[in-house]
């Protein structure tokens, strides 16, 4: 294979614990192991060198050079923008990953904030040689929103880290030992599309005896793994445990939560992939998900689905999966198999092939 010099916008690599940061690290940790790939990480601002230690820790390697993005010259073959848009100009042929079109599907009411959110997407549409979508649903959404040619968009699915696997549910956060719970992964306040309001209403309808004397032991908690959680009865905030930044014990806390949960509830009305779905399945945890956007594409027949606007259907689904042991066993078995169809090694290989293609034809 010819030597590839790949420049990467590394703004989400060292700190971002959202799905976007996890995605960028998962791909880069595999590309950095290739002797025929030279990684040039780019950070905006004049003091990029100050972040080298954090980047090395996040990627588990020092095999990269580090520069400020304005200082990039012609010594790279292609540049990759993995952070949901293009955030700085470059003369290089580029590949941009657009994870979703949320700023256009659900635009901010404030004109300045709306423009700020949409600008990196429009720059990608204008300048990128190819755009990566993370699902077929994502590709069709980009075609519809930006009027892009289908051939310009490459669909490359996410994978599942091998650390997500069945096993003992430990260490669980304090207060969750020996407690039955339903798990929600994400930020229920900052991301309305995660549809936590509907999920909580379904939870209330599924267990109307919640809070009554003698009912506490029979009612599962609703555990939120995310940056914040609303102060509602029955809701337990486990913290933001989606931290894969440290090479040692990466994902340990989130994996324990998956393993200990009765079910993962993914009520989103808009997702272009839904990484928690596959992570839960890989841990042997049943999943109830919305029959909406990309979730049926990713989950296949390995999840129990409910409409994203029907709290009664969700209440029924939650009761079924928590009480029907035969259903739980079936979802566990088919979920474990479904997760094996998504590999970060394969995803990284497909990214690398795309980068090589763009470098060779530009």
**What length is written for the chain?**
362
Reported confidence tier of residue 206, pLDDT bands at 50, 70, 90:
very high
DSSP string spanning 264-319? EEE--S--SS-HHHHHHHHTT--EEEESSTTHHHHHGGGSEEE-TT-HHHHHHHHH
Q: What is the pLDDT of residue 69?
A: 74
Q: What is the pLDDT of residue 172?
A: 86
Q: How many domains does the chain have?
A: 2
- Asked if 188 and 194 touch (Cβ cutoff 8 Å), the reply is yes
* Separation of CA 136 from chain center: 16
Query: Does the pLDDT value for residue 216 go beyond 60?
Result: no
Q: Helix 252-260 vs helix 275-282: angle between axes, to the nearest 10 degrees?
A: 70
Query: Does the pLDDT value for residue 23 go beyond 90?
Result: yes
* CATH number (domain holding residue 245): 3.40.50.2000
Query: Does the pLDDT value for residue 211 go beyond 80?
Result: no
The verdict on 332 and 229 lying in the same domain is yes
Q: CA 180 → CA 170, 171, 227, distances in Å?
A: 14, 15, 22
Q: What is the pLDDT of residue 277?
A: 98
The verdict on 253 and 347 lying in the same domain is no
Give just the sign of the alpha carbon dihedral 38, 44, 48, 53: negative
Could you tell me the residue range of the domain that residue 127 belongs to? 4-159+343-361
Q: What is the rounded average pLDDT of the residues 54-73?
A: 86
Q: Please state the pTM of the whole predicted model.
A: 0.93
**Residue 152: helix, strand or coil by DSSP?**
helix
Q: What is the pLDDT of residue 71?
A: 58
- Asked if 4 and 38 touch (Cβ cutoff 8 Å), the reply is yes
Asked whether residue 176 is domain-assigned, the answer is: no
The verdict on 149 and 77 lying in the same domain is yes
The verdict on 240 and 273 lying in the same domain is yes
Q: What is the pLDDT of residue 297?
A: 97
- Asked if 82 and 12 touch (Cβ cutoff 8 Å), the reply is yes
Query: Does the pLDDT value for residue 339 go beyond 90?
Result: yes
Asked whether residue 168 is domain-assigned, the answer is: no
Tokens of 283: 């841990």
DSSP string spanning 41-107? EEESSS-GGGGHHHHHHHHT---SEEEEGGG--S--SEEEE-SSS--S--SS-EEEE----HHHHS-
């Amino acid at each position: 294979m010819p030597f590839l010099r790949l420049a990467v916008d590394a703004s989400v690599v060292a700190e971002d614990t959202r799905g976007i940061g996890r995605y960028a690290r998962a791909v880069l940790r595999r590309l950095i192991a290739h002797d025929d790939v030279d990684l040039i990480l780019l950070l905006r601002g004049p003091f990029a060198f100050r972040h080298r230690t954090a980047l090395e820790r996040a990627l588990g390697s020092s095999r990269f050079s580090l520069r400020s993005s304005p200082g990039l010259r012609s010594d790279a073959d292609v540049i990759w923008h993995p952070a949901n848009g293009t955030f700085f100009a470059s003369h290089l042929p580029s590949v941009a990953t657009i994870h979703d079109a949320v700023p256009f599907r659900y635009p901010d009411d404030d004109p300045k904030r709306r423009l700020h959110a949409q600008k990196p997407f429009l720059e990608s549409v204008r300048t990128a040689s190819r755009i990566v979508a993370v699902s077929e649903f994502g590709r069709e959404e980009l075609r519809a929103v930006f009027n892009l040619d289908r051939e310009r968009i490459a669909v490359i699915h996410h994978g599942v880290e091998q650390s997500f696997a069945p096993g003992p549910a430990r260490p669980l956060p304090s207060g969750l030992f020996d407690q039955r719970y339903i798990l929600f992964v994400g930020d229920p306040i900052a991301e309305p599309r995660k549809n936590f309001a509907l999920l909580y209403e379904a939870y209330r309808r599924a267990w109307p005896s919640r809070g009554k004397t003698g009912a506490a032991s029979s009612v599962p908690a609703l555990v939120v793994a995310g940056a914040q959680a609303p102060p509602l009865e029955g809701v337990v905030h486990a913290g933001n445990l989606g931290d894969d930044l440290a090479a040692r014990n990466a994902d340990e806390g989130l994996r324990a939560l998956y393993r200990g949960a009765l079910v993962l509830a993914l009520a989103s009305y808009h997702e272009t992939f839904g990484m928690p779905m596959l992570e839960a399945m890989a841990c042997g945890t049943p999943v109830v998900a919305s029959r909406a956007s990309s979730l049926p594409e990713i989950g296949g027949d390995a999840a129990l689905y409910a409409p994203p606007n029907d709290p009664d259907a969700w209440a029924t689904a939650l009761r079924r999966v928590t009480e029907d042991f035969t259903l739980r066993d079936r979802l566990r078995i088919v979920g474990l198999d479904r997760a094996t169809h998504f590999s970060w090694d394969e995803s990284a290989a497909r990214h690398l092939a795309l980068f090589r293609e763009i470098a060779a034809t530009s």
